[in-house]
Structure 1
Amino acid sequence: MSQDYKFEGWLGKDKDSVNGKMVWGEFPHPKPFEETDVDIQITHCGICGSDIHTLRSGWGPTPYPCCVGHEIVGKAVRVGKKAEKGIKVGDRVGVGAQNSSCLKPDCEECSSGLEQHCQHTVNTFADQYPDGSYSYGGYADYHRAPSHFVMKIPDAIPSEEAAPMLCGGITVYSPLKNNGCGPGKKVGIIGVGGLGHFGVMFAKALGADKVVGISRSHDKKEDVLKMGADEYIATNDDKDWAKHHARSLDLIVCTVSSPSMPLMDYLQLLRTKGTFIQVGAPEDKLPDMNAFAFIAKGVKFGGSMIGPPWQIEEMLNFAAEKGVHPWIQKVPMKDANKAIVDMDQGKARYRISLVNEKHL
């Protein structure tokens, strides 16, 4: 199958690119096509906080030039003879934050359906394959990925809604599902932004008895209640909030990525034997913690990172079945520079999907 298109996109050339200074250009070292791969003509790409961290080298040195974006939806235009999942040319497909793993039978993680924890993971952008080529993300015209990490998008989900589910959605769906969110559980979501708003909606759809949105101010209260939350806690507006809501939650998913967040106060909200799962990743460190926050009530503190391909597919089908619709702002791909600045300034309500209008 021939290729008559170029791999071009918005390239971050240095740390200043996060300030709306990405430049459109051709990818210098894209992955060579293999018969297990799929090429995707991109129609939509969500903007994720990971894009911001990577553009400014917040989590470590970025291999510039990079093209960010790992919430990719579009049309399969080239499909290798050994592609998985019955993907065909013309199918509407998506890719999340992971592009590859070793997939070897003797890999403990890959063989047990935990590909996101494989020691040989290749991220969807700003990462390197074993052959020395690089992965480039979805602020672009085309994307190439191994078919194992490509999934078909259910017909019931619009592309602009499916895109942010592929990272933002699975980042909270996975820890909710893996930690027993459902009937009989009282669940708190800390930080009701792009990730947190997914958390509220998925917790409610999974059948939690009570869903509590937790943020600093009352600014988002009305929105969060409309999303399905039963209660809202504004930590800046009640100096005794931790005392007033102590021992009220079975499970907390924290999406906040600030080293100054009141972590010890958050832990007070857990009931005995409760579970706290951190998904937000600060660029430096988490706040200090006292061991008695865990010992006294026998609570668990854990972390979660995206989810494996099979669980992303499960999430998409669940969202289609339950009618979960994220709150999305659509922005033309040509305006990606402005969109990342808006995202970095907290203006998104609550996820931004770039729309590649030339491919619609």
Structure 2
Amino acid sequence: MTSSQVPKFEGWLGNDPTSADGNMTWGPYTAKAWDETDIDIRITHCSVCASDLSTLRSSWSPAEYPCCVGHEIVGVAIRVGSAVTNGISEGDRVAVGPQSDACLGRRGECRECASGKENYCHVHLTGTYNGRYLSGEKSFGGYGRYIRVPSYFVFQVPNGLPSAHAAPMMCAGVTTFSALKRNGCGPGKNVGIIGIGGLGHFGILWAKALGAEKVVAISRRSNKREDAIRLGADEYIATEEDEDWVGAYKMRMDVVICTVSSSKMPLEDYLSCLRTDGCFVQIGLPEDKFPPFRAGLLASRCAKVAGSFIGAPHEIREMLQLAVDKNVVPWVTERPMKDANAAIVDMAKGKARYRYVLVNDG
């Protein structure tokens, strides 16, 4: 590739915490230096994730401004390094999620990378944006025209899966899929999904696709009941409106996936819904502390509280194929990339039903 063919890396940049209020500015940035294991991608679609807002606000930790967010990315491979071995060729439709690198054993022994749990690498995990590669170079995300990513974390999008559907699967999708799959969701199981939003609506879709016997959608109010049933939920709980729902659902669920990020949620009530050997899995990331609960709620039924974080490469591939095989259709609204500022403001206001997908012209 000649210098004239090298992509011009530019996108929507956050320069301080107020950028989350719709104040991102379009501009150039310096991508990581090219490596023959890399792939350059022309971005066609990038979904808007709540993590984008938290990063722009520096809610979890101080962001490294300027920061280009976006980690639910689909596009076309336009440059493939000579050392790429995952079968991707120029012109292929590909996707990238929240992780763009891990140590992969390059800095000594890593049990997580060696065992197919690269998403839990604690030696060196690089986020697709606001992260640092092993070289020390900064990572920039998908609110732009192009992105350069190490090929290990670039995935082919199967035929039959629309790009606008595949994009939000790369974070919201795989986060819920991984949590369900690894904690036993399948035939004969009753599953609860707390929070009906970008993550939660995927939780309902995957639980049904994985064959759960009964899926119970859980939200504070009844205003999302109709949506949840249309998505495939068998039952619905409005915790602030339904009388004695705690008694009605005591010890009825095998797996409960919590997508909400609140330190004030009625955690003990949720735990009371677990059957013997049941599991409560937290995937929402509160900006403050987790609610306290009595240990007896777990000990008395051999239950457990677990966490789950994004998904490993093998899980992403399995998820994308399941989406095709079971015709999993997320609820998305496509918006022009040029309207990214308006989209994140609307996302913060809870207007998305249930994922905004930014689309580049052409």
Q: TM-score range by the shorter chain?
A: over 0.9
Paired residue for 1:33? Answer: 34
Name the structure 2 match of 1:111.
114
**Corresponding residue of 2:255:** 251
Who is 2:244 aligned against?
A: 240
What is the distance in 1 between the residues matched to 2:244 and 2:315? 38
Output the CA distance in 1 between the equivalents of 2:295 and 2:253. Answer: 19
CA RMSD of aligned residues (A): 1.0
* Corresponding position of 2:191: 187
Equivalent position of 2:54 in the other structure: 53
Give me the whole-angstrom Cα distance separating, in 1, the residues matched to 2:246 and 2:15. 44
- 1:202-249 residue CA offsets vs partner (Å, 9 max, x unmatched): 001111010000001111101110111100000110242212211110
In 1, distance between residues paired with 2:134 and 2:316? 25
SS of residue in 1 equivalent to 2:40: strand
Measured after TM superposition, the shift of residue 357 of structure 1 is 1.4
- SS for the counterpart of 1:38 is strand
**Residue 278 (structure 1) aligns with:** 282
Q: Equivalent residue of 1:110, what SS?
A: helix
1:2-41 deviation digits (Å, cap 9, x = unpaired): 33321100000000000000000111x4210100000000
**SS at structure 1 position matched to 2:135:** coil
Query: Which residue of 23, 26, 43 maps to 1:24?
Result: 26
Whole-angstrom CA distance in 1 between matches of 2:83 and 2:41: 16
Measured after TM superposition, the shift of residue 343 of structure 1 is: 0.7
Distance in structure 2 (CA, Å) of the matches to 1:357 and 1:265: 47
Of residues 295, 316, 324, the one that matches 1:291 is: 295
Secondary structure at the counterpart of residue 93 of structure 1? strand
Q: Establish whether residue 12 from structure 1 lines up as the match of residue 11 from structure 2.
A: no
Report Cα offsets for 1:287-308 as digits up to 9, x if no partner. 1121112112110110000111
Match of 2:330 in 1: 326
Distance 1:84 1:101 in 2: 17
The alignment's TM-score, normalised by the length of structure 1, stands at 0.98
Query: What does 1:191-270 align with in structure 2 at a 5 Å threshold?
Result: 191-270=195-274
Tell me the secondary structure at the aligned position of residue 331 of structure 1. strand
Give the partner amino acid of 2:81. G
Q: Which amino acid aligns with 2:97?
A: G
Q: AA paired with 1:11?
A: L
Q: 1:95 & 1:353 partners in 2: Cα distance?
A: 14
Determine if the alignment matches structure 1 residue 125 to structure 2 residue 129: yes
Secondary structure, aligned partner of 1:341: helix
Q: Secondary structure at the match of 1:99?
A: strand
1:129 Cα deviation from its structure 2 partner:
1.4
Letter of the aligned partner of 1:63 in structure 2?
A: E
In 1, Cα distance between the equivalents of 2:23 and 2:114? 41
Distance in 1, matches of 2:98 and 2:19, equals 20
Who is 2:74 aligned against?
Answer: 73
Aligned residues: 357
Query: TM-score with structure 2 length normalisation?
Result: 0.97
Alpha-carbon distance in 2 for matches of 1:356, 1:329: 14
Inter-partner Cα distance in structure 1 for 2:314 and 2:278: 27
| Counterparts of 2:235 and 2:244, CA distance in 1 | 16
**Gap regions ≥5 residues in structure 1:** none
For residues 110-160 of structure 1, give each alpha carbon's deviation from its aligned partner in whole angstroms, at most 9, with x where no partner exists: 111000111110000001112221100000100110000000001111000
Aligned to 1:166, the other structure's residue is in SS state helix
Superposed structure 1 runs of 4+ greater than 4 Å apart: none
> Shift of residue 346 of structure 1?
0.7
SS in 1 for 2:31: coil
Structure 1 position 86, deviation (Å): 1.1
- The DSSP-based 3-state class of the residue aligned with 1:128 is coil
Letter paired with 1:86: G
Once residues 177 and 232 of structure 1 are traced to their aligned partners in structure 2, the CA distance between those partners, rounded to angstroms, is 22
Match of 1:149 in 2: 153
Which amino acid counterpart does residue 93 of structure 1 have in structure 2? V
Letter matched to residue 111 of structure 2 = E
SS in 2 for 1:297: coil
